[in-house]
Amino acid sequence: SSELTQDPAVSVALGQTVRVTCQGDSLRNFYANWYQQKPGQAPVLVIYGKNNRPSGIPDRFSGSSSGNTASLTITGAQAEDEADYYCNSRGPVFGTGTKVTVL
């Protein structure tokens, strides 16, 4: 199956650490990419490949993978990190999306 499943929502206290997970069979063979989307804006790539950050993405964002699960970790979450996060692998599908709320 090419489906990618994410928890619908997670919350994190300001300055704390939050992990967003993505599960799917394709993740056993391909790395996940992670996209951040704020209301009314286009998605932004935050993590790609094994654990790479595009220029301009803070180093509090990191990625990891194990088996069929990929994770996006935000270490020291900031108010501006409140957004929807989507995973995607080399396959033709996006994850279901996770809304991250910073309390």
Partner 1 sequence: QVQVVQSGAEVKKPGASVRVSCKASGHIFDTYGFTWVRQAPGQGLEWMGWISFNNGDTNYAPRLQDRVTMTTDTSPGTVYMELRSLRSDDTAVYYCARRVCDAISCYDDHWGQGTLVIVSS
- Reduce the DSSP state of residue 80 to 3 states and report it: helix
| Least distance CB 14 / partner 1 (angstroms) | 26
Q: Which of 7, 31, 51, 76 binds partner 1 (CB under 8 A)?
A: 31
The interface region with partner 1, picked from 20-28, 40-48, 58-66, 71-79 by CB under 8 A, is 40-48
Our finding on whether 96 is near partner 1 (CB under 8 A) is yes
Task: Give whichever of 37 and 73 is closer to partner 1, judged by the CB atom.
Answer: 37
Our finding on whether 64 is near partner 1 (CB under 8 A) is no
Rounded to whole angstroms, the Cα distance separating 53 from 46 reads: 6
Our finding on whether 45 is near partner 1 (CB under 8 A) is yes
| C-alpha distance across the termini of the chain, in Å | 35
Rounded to whole angstroms, the Cα distance separating 31 from 86 reads: 14
Rounded to whole angstroms, the Cα distance separating 22 from 46 reads: 15
Residue 49 one-letter amino acid: G
Q: Would you tell me which residues interact with partner 1 (CB under 8 A)?
A: 30-31, 33, 35, 37, 42-45, 48-50, 54, 84, 86, 88, 90, 92-97
